[in-house]
Amino acid sequence: MTPVNVVTGCLGAGKTTAIARALARRPEGETWAVVVNDFGALGIDGALLDDAVGSTSKTSERGGVVVREVNGGCVCCATAAPFTLAVTQVLRRFTPDRVLVEPSGVGDAGRVIDALRSEHLKRSVDVRATVCVVDVREFGSNARSGVLESELFKSQCECAETLCGSFADVADEADVEAFLAFAHAFWPKKIKVFLTRDRDVDVDVLDEACGWAESERPANAAGGAEDAPSSQGPFVLRPSLVANGSPWMLKNTSERYASCGYAFHQDDVFVRPWLKTFFDVFVLQRRDVARFKGVLRLGADWVRPDVVLSETSDSAIERAIKFTSVAYRRDSRFEIIRERGVDAATDADENAFWDDVRDRLEACRKKPR
């Protein structure tokens, strides 16, 4: 299968320049293809890439770089079929060593990834790390575009495994620090966060392996306990997952807290009512659960479980789960952090509890045909 990377980011963030620099640094002898989506009917980004390729003595089709445009809309909606066709034609005609996809700056990168994983393409492409290019100057006090308040911007960052801070060489130090704080606050954690000088991109980031950061586990429980592990731990590589197989489980403990994370294959689909019952009837009823979080696939949608509070007729506060759509697409994962000393029976056999959670989650999946 051909490796494919989506390079996303808002208008003007520097995506096209970053891709051109990556093309210039591709391994010698490899042919790379770029599928560019311009929202306008007249493609500009593709022409800019063609120009950049030509300026570095790499011809557009026979010299190692292929550029194809899909214009007149976002590949996540109106032009989804032409996008699928363009990728298919590029794969068949040029058999590239890698394909880079540049969605429109107003496009939903999550839907682009969905298209790449569709029945038409999933057997031909291997979707690797998604890179979101972010102009760090937007984090400054003089920023005027309002990008940071945009739901599209948040979605693009949420979807990406890797965040690339562009224009770091001309930004104020405070802007850079604000971007880094923003980037490191995500859950699930980003595989890599890096800054670029002159929007130069190290092509090694395109093959960064998925995993689970040590900092995702119970250091953040109940606001951060003193005895919790350091939040600067190593990144644990995720093993290969199998659809409808057992999830990858990663445990962590401290004197007061214990946690377990579960990662499921991206093709595993959870059933909404079964999953809601899992949270409402099981998770929310346990006194020892200090915190939980997750991103899970429900059909074509990916969601985050959020707790909502409501007042009952006798003025009691009742908790329930609602599912909020997210752009994340890497894998379904759930993490639960429990406080020790609250439930003696579970303390005595914690591994049995983690296995029970796993079994309950597996029972919420759609059964394979």
Are residues 244 and 281 in contact, defined by beta-carbon separation less than 8 angstroms?
no
Q: Are residues 216 and 203 both part of a single domain? A: no
Give the per-residue pLDDT at 48.
44
In 3D, which of 214, 201, 219, 111 has the Cα closest to residue 162?
A: 201
Within a domain: residue 243?
yes
Q: Are residues 188 and 226 both part of a single domain? A: no
Q: Are residues 60 and 185 both part of a single domain? A: yes
Q: Could you give phi then psi for residue 226, rounded to 5 degrees?
A: -65, -30
Q: Are residues 356 and 219 both part of a single domain? A: yes
Give the per-residue pLDDT at 214.
52
Q: Are residues 216 and 189 both part of a single domain? A: no
3-class state of residue 80 by DSSP: helix
Q: Are residues 196 and 264 both part of a single domain? A: no
3-class state of residue 2 by DSSP: strand
Give the per-residue pLDDT at 297.
96
pTM of the model: 0.80
Whole-angstrom distance, CA of residue 41 vs CA of residue 26: 30
Q: Look up the CATH number of the domain holding residue 159.
A: 3.40.50.300
Within a domain: residue 369?
no
Whole-angstrom distance, CA of residue 36 vs CA of residue 42: 12
> What is the DSSP annotation of 290-341?
EEEEEEEEETTEEEEEEEEEEE-TTS-EEEEEEEEE----S-EEEEEEEETT
Q: How far is CA 339 from the centre of its chain?
A: 29
Q: Judging by DSSP bridges, how do beta strands 32-38 and 98-102 pair with one another?
A: parallel
Q: Are residues 14 and 118 both part of a single domain? A: yes
- Helix residue ranges per DSSP H, 228-310: 272-277
Last residue in a domain, options 152, 178, 208: 208
Domain tally, the chain: 2
Q: 80 lies in which domain range?
A: 2-208
Give the per-residue pLDDT at 316.
79
Give the per-residue pLDDT at 231.
35
Within a domain: residue 368?
no
Q: Calculate ∠ Cα 25-121-162, nearest 5°.
A: 45
Q: Are residues 199 and 248 both part of a single domain? A: no
Q: Are residues 155 and 222 both part of a single domain? A: no
In 3D, which of 346, 366, 154 has the Cα closest to residue 268?
A: 366
Whole-angstrom distance, CA of residue 126 vs CA of residue 132: 18
Last residue in a domain, options 175, 208, 241: 208
**Per-residue pLDDT of the chain in tens (369 residues, 90 and over written 9):** 999 999 999 888 888 888 988 998 899 889 999 998 864 433 444 444 555 455 333 334 445 888 888 865 545 544 468 888 889 999 999 999 999 999 877 778 888 899 899 888 989 999 999 999 999 999 987 666 778 888 889 999 999 999 999 999 999 999 999 999 999 999 888 989 999 876 567 788 898 777 666 544 444 444 444 443 333 345 666 778 889 999 999 998 888 999 999 999 999 999 999 999 999 999 999 999 999 999 999 988 999 999 998 887 777 788 999 999 999 998 999 999 999 999 999 999 999 999 999 999 999 999 887
- Helix residue ranges per DSSP H, 137-271: 151-159, 173-183
Give the per-residue pLDDT at 360.
98
Q: Are residues 104 and 171 both part of a single domain? A: yes
Torsion angle in degrees (nearest 10) through CA of 147, 45, 197, 130: 70
Contacts of 189 (CB under 8 A, 6+ apart): 212, 213, 215, 216, 235
Last residue in a domain, options 143, 174, 208: 208
Q: Are residues 134 and 101 both part of a single domain? A: yes
Q: Are residues 44 and 193 both part of a single domain? A: yes
Give the per-residue pLDDT at 198.
64
